[in-house]
Chain A
Amino acid sequence: MSKLLNLALGVLTAIGGFVDIGDLVTSGVVGSRFGLSLAWATILGVVGICLYAEMSGRVAAITGRGTFDLVRERLGPRAGLANLTASFFVTALTFAAEIGGVALSLELVTSVNYLLLVPWIGLVMWFVVWRVKFTYLENTFGILGLALLAFGVALWRLHPDWSNLLHQVVAPHKPGTESLQVYFYYAIALFGAAMTPYEVFFFSSGGVEEKWSKKDLAVERANVFVGFPLGGMLSLSIAAVASLVLLPAQIGVSNLSQVGLPIAVAGGKILLAFSLLGFVAATFGAALETGLSCGYSVAQYFGWQWGKFVSPRKAARFHLVVLLSLLFAVAAVLTTIDPVKLTEYSVVFSAVALPLTYFPILVIANDPDYMGENVNGRLTNALATVFLALVIIASVAAIPLMIWTKAGQ
């Protein structure tokens, strides 16, 4: 029985854990400006994260080693350090965006200015990282994050013309008022929001923390192949409700409150309150994941003891890096940079950093010395190679597009 419960828990956590501030903002912005004509980017991102997470989860289960430990080994310390610097910058940027997301969500609940909430959020986060056991942390916020299913309920209650929605997805048509470069800029943003590197660092390090082994591969695959696609559907429903309510009302999302408006339209106060629980839990959970991933990446590069299965004193440098990353993230939000813009930068830079860790994991997942007979199958490799090309194209195109479109204006 416990295996089934474990499986269900894993899947639910993957759904709840998938959506973060990047998905909430980017899907909201894109839905309100492009309708579902960019849904293909989210779908690509979801397929990509399934592939990437499954590979790195399998590598973690078989080798018992984290992503960055292997990245250094496969690229050498010099290229590994460049890789670590870029990925750490993106993860820390995402950490700041997630903390901004928690603050904005709590502001919507309490109408206390979000900047006043940020230091308290930092404090609570430090306590949770310091004291709460890894599995409790992941499960609670993963389950609570399910409250974002309110977007699915809202979509249902809006009685949309489903065939039209499907048509928008299958036959994407760029709105006339938006330029091609902005269209593809947001395609990369969506792709980066769905296929975020930190989710893979966290997922694989979690596998090592929970001592996964070959027998856990079934649960790992279920988490990935059921949980993430459902999480992706949640992202799509955020964009769908925005396209149904905000687009016709000529509202382009520029702050988090607009993302929740369609829920109030469709389901009133109760559904809105329920969704706010999801906003706070999903962003808080994602903040924890990114915070820990900052620690994981640095500790795994240098070979330090890391992880939450030991007391903080046993992993002193790991916890110090997490603490410093937390201080950086809180300070970044307190600079009063617009948290929504900060989030957009974080998802675009996620897309830039993606190949740096995707490529080494792809190589290791094929190394018989490491994986024995659990190497990639022929189909996985074919798909993984296609995504390697996609990931590199997105990474190379991201920054030029960001400059050309002045971050999507």
Chain B
Amino acid sequence: MIRHGRSIGVGLVTIALATSACVGPATTIAAYEGKARRAAQDALSAVNTALLGVRIHERGSLLENYFETMLSQTEDDISSVQNSFDSIQPPNSKSSDKLRDQLDNLLSDGVSGIAQLRISARREDGPALVQAATQLAPTAKDLSQFVESHGG
């Protein structure tokens, strides 16, 4: 076992990095729905992070730089969730297409909502921040419902 240590190690490492990084095409409707639920969950996590951040920030418990960085890091997260979900080839079924449009709208609302928060935070414009947060809240509810209704 020790004698072949090197060749086994190198082979395994390349396989692992290759498969776990890319997002394969969805095969069945159920698999696609699973990926949609997964994407909705990650997006919900990002939106909740932003909303929680605003609440703590309004209470004066969050450092400015920390709050701004958190919003931009979370914005990156939700954007990459949307990009990787959109890149999945949906199976050709009406229900999958409906599912895709429904989720895509929610993801876009989430991305633009968090972006709006990040802009207001950088401008340190309190009222705009609160207003953007209240607009974002329904997206969180819809995403949460989407996750529930798709086996979350």
Interface set of A (CB-CB < 8 Å, partner B): 75, 78-79, 81-83, 85-86, 89, 107-111, 177, 249-252, 254-258, 260-261, 264-265, 267-269, 272-273, 276, 345, 349, 356, 399, 402-403, 406-407, 409
A79–B3 CB distance below 8 A? yes
* One of B38-46, B90-98, B128-136 at the interface: B38-46
**B49 sits at the interface (CB 8 A):** yes
Beta-carbon nearest neighbor of A260 in chain B: B66
A265: chain B residues within 8 A (beta carbon): 52, 56, 61
Chain B residues with a Cβ closer than 8 Å to the other chain, count? 42
B53–A111 CB distance below 8 A? no
- CB-contact partner of B68 in A85, A111, A260, A407, under 8 A: A111
A267: chain B residues within 8 A (beta carbon): 61
* Alpha-carbon gap, A309 to B3, bound state (A): 36
A250–B77 CB distance below 8 A? no
Total number of residue pairs linking A and B with CB closer than 8 Å: 113
B152–A257 CB distance below 8 A? no
**B120 sits at the interface (CB 8 A):** no
Q: How far is the CB of B131 from chain A (nearest CB, A)?
A: 21
A255–B56 CB distance below 8 A? no
Contacts A85-B6, A177-B152 given; does A276 touch B15 at CB 8 Å = no
- CB-contact partner of B66 in A83, A251, A264, under 8 A: A264
**B149 sits at the interface (CB 8 A):** no
Known: A109-B66, A255-B70, A402-B16. 7 other contacts (CB 8 A): A85-B10, A86-B6, A111-B69, A249-B52, A251-B52, A252-B42, A267-B61
Q: How far is the CB of B147 from chain A (nearest CB, A)?
A: 8
Q: How far is the CB of B46 from chain A (nearest CB, A)?
A: 7
B61–A251 CB distance below 8 A? no
A85: chain B residues within 8 A (beta carbon): 6, 9-10
**B145 sits at the interface (CB 8 A):** no
B13–A89 CB distance below 8 A? yes
* Alpha-carbon gap, A79 to B7, bound state (A): 11
* Alpha-carbon gap, A250 to B46, bound state (A): 9
- CB-contact partner of A251 in B45, B63, B65, under 8 A: B45
Q: How far is the CB of A246 from chain B (nearest CB, A)?
A: 8
A261–B15 CB distance below 8 A? no
Most buried by B among A177, A257, A402: A257
A269: chain B residues within 8 A (beta carbon): 60-63
* Alpha-carbon gap, A6 to B66, bound state (A): 36
- CB-contact partner of B69 in A78, A108, A177, A268, under 8 A: A108
Q: How far is the CB of B142 from chain A (nearest CB, A)?
A: 13
Contacts A269-B62, A273-B63 given; does A261 touch B20 at CB 8 Å = no
B144–A86 CB distance below 8 A? no
B66–A82 CB distance below 8 A? no
B52: chain A residues within 8 A (beta carbon): 249, 251, 261, 265
A250: chain B residues within 8 A (beta carbon): 41, 44-45, 48, 144
Contacts A251-B48, A265-B56 given; does A86 touch B5 at CB 8 Å = yes
